[in-house]
Structure 1
């Protein structure tokens, strides 16, 4: 079985596209091979700044021959029907057989496709892959029609086995496949031939190219952390930056430099962001002080002076960048100390938030009023909550955030501290944006929670008021994220409040009487997604959402968790089946008789011990469940409900509900009604599946 090696060599591929492109190459080629019947044992894809590589092992030498029989019309069918069948099957009339069955004599097309050699199929599949490659952006060059992310320079395509290797005959837009490739742009040894993947990878490394992106990343991290450790420092982890830098170099050379003394006073986040965004540097900090004191840059070349010239150039550019950052920082601090953050807030009256929802300043006024309303619910001081809301977005007008938008909130905290504002207000400036995602930290400080909730609820009610709701996969205003943020704020902080009431207050600021119920349904849908990670089924959540108080998210989740835990037990799961059996029999009887069996069950009409025992069990359950539900001890309530499993099972095994004795029948149907009523105290079990 031969192995396949493909390399598509081009000018530099953007780092952000490399990983996806390698996987696309693997999928498109292997899927194309399998569709033709050419199976394989394994495949792996690689990428460097100048190449996409695919190796496929254990490939069939040829596709298998195929013989297919296709049933057609009767031999005496209209000529057009027969012609259509022959055309569709790709055969002539002579290639068909006539076979007689119960319906008459029928045509059968015999389609035989001989196997094809692997090289022929590979050439066909690879050309199609190259011409239809799904680059996010691509370009044309020269006079050809081929589009690629950057000009494609060569194609390596080999089939190899124990007997040697052969070039797959292929030409795409004038580029003919061969067995030759190149190493590093500057340190390589020129073009060289390869005979298979192992030979290819080894020769690339000798030509200063590490093929594996994972190996390049590991090399960078090892060398960087080792260099920092030698000076008593440590590299700030950044997985995204590491992956990006690994896509910028084929032969990583780690160099470490120091940050100039004039810039050491900048906030560490400013230094880190400036170096990362502008120059793809890793930050190096002093673990004793947390201060950023150095940087790591990764060159793509070894130099005779061990990188001294490269570091000197980087230091020069970095100093210019950090001089700008220091100017922004010092200027912003001056404004914060002399004019206060309110000066920046006033400027936001000229910044449109949305043409139907006013300016950012208008939005701040709404958030401030709502934060004051929410404050008592979360245990926050109302004055502090309102004050924090009024300055939380002030840093949007600062020069630093204009340059580095990702620092919004964090810079607000620094500037609030500089302005002498209360600690709680400064914290809220940074934390009110959180949580931004499912794994983001959730604020717990009361003032921060109040402002964060007000911010997200204003966003949701505002866009609901102007009917700009998410549709399908489209959510341009990140309303799903805002709703999830509210849910996590409520749950993590154990907040108990009516969401409908709070939404009503938020809608009032938009002049709306409140489509709060519609927005509440949106929250419920987001809650199902959130709880899915806990293993709580959507039908369990539906069962508790059908109960009163479904706008108290903490209450809903507590019920859902208790019900889910109960259903995970044998008694709980079997009780649901007993409940459904009782409910089905009762519902059918009520429909048939045209009456409601909802009261009057009397133990004196019981005819069996099991019937008597069920009366006693229901009495005991009712005595426990109702007070437990009032006390919100859902675990106790549902445990008591699950205890009904055995007496309900015994009852159904011992009696026939629809007795010939009408008095006994009515009594038993009313007893089933008691089962339904008792169980429905904890959740709407009719909504459970299975």
Structure 2
């Protein structure tokens, strides 16, 4: 069947826009073709520095004739409704048919040539394309990312004729701007098109360009006994910059290697789009780089390498200047400048944020086994490098440079590491801090971010999360779970929220100092810190006193814990765990993430067994009976009495519950949740026998039997809220 080939040829398309542009072109083409009744056998798009390409296989040359059913107004409807329907359908009333009290129209439509439909489709796509940025040029009004030069559009090897703002469609395209024969060439189908581009030094497929770059880089490195420092983000970008990518190895001045490797790599990557290299088995960088040229130079790239080396030397000379100036300055002047840096208009300065992080790091440190003073000192210095010259030039090095400067000034190694790592993890693939001081400061930084923006009601909504609060919560979860830290999350969130709320309310400095002065030294005293905050608000006359503040705080903590529960579901879902199990465990009011995950894992394993599945079914039956009885009035209180010996099922469950009580509590106390599940499994048989053989609503025994079912629910509720488990 016929093939459609479309190419939109323009000046250079920014690399960062190409991937989404290819997806948008495919989506828009599919939607237009589907609306016309076409379902291509295959449809693929390509994006490159100067062209967007689409090829669709298996299109008919014309639409099939169609018969459409149009539903009109009901019989007897006002004439005004009938007239409106007739105008819309372009029909007269004698063309309508009555069916089941409704007027129906059956309209036969002649199929149109596919070329006509494609012409309309291309114009709609071009005029409606959603580029992040676009421009007009010349005297036309057409907007495109860069000036649109050609449109190649052929169907079944014939040109689809149309014109968009003076640009006529055709079957002509062109290859590389500089290499080979620069004359345009004719392409009437995709095979001719792709072969022609290859002959004219253009690699159409971005995946092929990436492979060509990567293999070329590795070949150059192998020849010089080097190793490529792979950078997927940079590879994606440079693949969108060159139509005929050709890696070239260059040499840099080795004297710059005394700069931190991150500075060298960032200067290469950000400004020049170079790949870094190193010697195999060595941690540092080698005095070389790889640039990706868009041509194959006759001299093998020697001139290109030399020119790029000069540019890199200039960039690195600037970096050395920043380093030299920064080490003359030091942390204290940088910290002083933070008082003039606004963190957020509603949350004050970066200095205020640092004060909050320092206090919070001091509270978290004992919980993760970190030295309190080291954690507070690292938190105090963590944001200082934001006002350094190096970070001013390379913002992506914040934190990293702080760690280097801390080591340069001879500060404690744990403090320096915590400063360097406090932003981590910044994504699912980023490393998580493991050293106790680093964990304390990283948690304090992220928890302050979360609670501060919740305190000013700047929360994620739908797909929008401008302050990356979901990522911060995931970072907290990963850090706690990997370190195994037993952090009472709700209490720590309460202290963090209280501190941020005080700054947000612009309370006098003495109140904030009062909070810090009364802050906790261990988890069990967090509540005292919350009381201190409430007292501070009461003394200041803010709001309606301490009681008002406590209500707000409790509400905020509940909301934040719910937010963490949702993020934990995401984390565990990636590990194959069910989201309802997180709800079932969170319902117990536990806020220790390590313990919660242990419970979820044990519960997940238990429910995969026959005992677990059957006991869950029994729990739901028992729970349903109790809920039904609760609607009639309050359930009887107290413990069940031992039933008569002639009721074997009752006696069996009563004895099973008595035998279960102590072992279950012991297992939970030891946090042996797998063992706790094994204890619950002992209830399966007695519960089944009880539900199958006992008439609960017998008037003489109703109260005692309901107490027995309530005891089952209570016992199982010590492990999880099984009522929230699906199934």
Alignment TM class, shorter chain as reference: over 0.9
Q: TM-score, normalised by structure 2?
A: 0.88
Q: Residues 413-562 of structure 1 correspond to what in structure 2 (within 5 A)?
A: 413-510=403-500, 511=502, 513=534, 514=553, 515-548=556-589, 550-562=590-602
Check the 8 A contact 1:91/1:111 in 2, yes or no: no
Q: Distance in 2 between matches of 1:212 and 1:73?
A: 53
Question: Mean alpha-carbon deviation: is it higher for 610-619 or for 407-416?
Answer: 610-619
Cα deviation code 1:611-655 (max 9, x no counterpart): 333233323322321211122111111222133223322332333
User: Alpha-carbon deviation of 1:75?
Assistant: 6.5
Matched, 1:304 2:298: yes
User: Alpha-carbon deviation of 1:312?
Assistant: 2.1
Q: Distance in 1 between matches of 2:565 and 2:78?
A: 60
1:255 corresponds in structure 2 to: 248
For residue 287 of structure 2, give the secondary structure of its aligned residue in structure 1: strand
Structure 1 pair 605/15, CA: closer, same or farther in 2 (3 Å)? same
2:352 corresponds in structure 1 to: 362
2:132 corresponds in structure 1 to: 136
Matched, 1:322 2:308: no
Check the 8 A contact 2:653/2:690 in 1, yes or no: yes
Check the 8 A contact 2:210/2:235 in 1, yes or no: yes
User: Alpha-carbon deviation of 1:262?
Assistant: 2.5
Cα deviation code 1:60-92 (max 9, x no counterpart): 222221113335456665432322222233323
2:271 corresponds in structure 1 to: 278
User: Alpha-carbon deviation of 1:201?
Assistant: 0.3
For residue 697 of structure 2, give the secondary structure of its aligned residue in structure 1: coil
Question: Mean alpha-carbon deviation: is it higher for 468-477 or for 172-181?
Answer: 468-477
Cα deviation code 1:498-547 (max 9, x no counterpart): 22332343345443544433333333333233322223333222221221
1:684 corresponds in structure 2 to: 721
Check the 8 A contact 2:33/2:39 in 1, yes or no: yes
Cα deviation code 1:651-672 (max 9, x no counterpart): 323333333xx32444333322
Structure 1 pair 250/286, CA: closer, same or farther in 2 (3 Å)? same
Check the 8 A contact 1:182/1:188 in 2, yes or no: no
Matched, 1:637 2:627: no
Check the 8 A contact 2:474/2:567 in 1, yes or no: yes
Cα deviation code 1:102-156 (max 9, x no counterpart): x5xx643121111122111111111111110111111111121211101111111
1:35 corresponds in structure 2 to: 35
User: Alpha-carbon deviation of 1:372?
Assistant: 2.1
User: Alpha-carbon deviation of 1:483?
Assistant: 2.4
Matched, 1:575 2:565: no
Q: Residues 192-341 of structure 1 correspond to what in structure 2 (within 5 A)?
A: 192-289=185-282, 290-336=284-330, 341=331
2:664 corresponds in structure 1 to: 625
Q: Distance in 1 between matches of 2:205 and 2:441?
A: 47
1:386 corresponds in structure 2 to: 376
User: Alpha-carbon deviation of 1:605?
Assistant: 5.3
Q: TM-score, normalised by structure 1?
A: 0.93
User: Alpha-carbon deviation of 1:479?
Assistant: 2.6
Structure 1 pair 487/342, CA: closer, same or farther in 2 (3 Å)? same
Cα deviation code 1:272-318 (max 9, x no counterpart): 11011001011111224332321111111223322222222212211
Q: Distance in 2 between matches of 1:317 and 1:477?
A: 36
Q: Report how many residues are paired.
A: 674
User: Alpha-carbon deviation of 1:14?
Assistant: 0.5
Q: Distance in 2 between matches of 1:509 and 1:594?
A: 43
* Correspondence for 2:386 among 374, 385, 396: 396
Question: Mean alpha-carbon deviation: is it higher for 537-546 or for 112-121?
Answer: 537-546
Q: Distance in 1 between matches of 2:481 and 2:406?
A: 28
Q: Distance in 2 between matches of 1:646 and 1:171?
A: 79
Cα deviation code 1:170-228 (max 9, x no counterpart): 21111111111101111242111112101110011101111111111111111111011
Q: Distance in 1 between matches of 2:595 and 2:450?
A: 22
Q: Distance in 2 between matches of 1:599 and 1:261?
A: 81
Structure 1 gaps, min length 5: none
1:122 corresponds in structure 2 to: 118
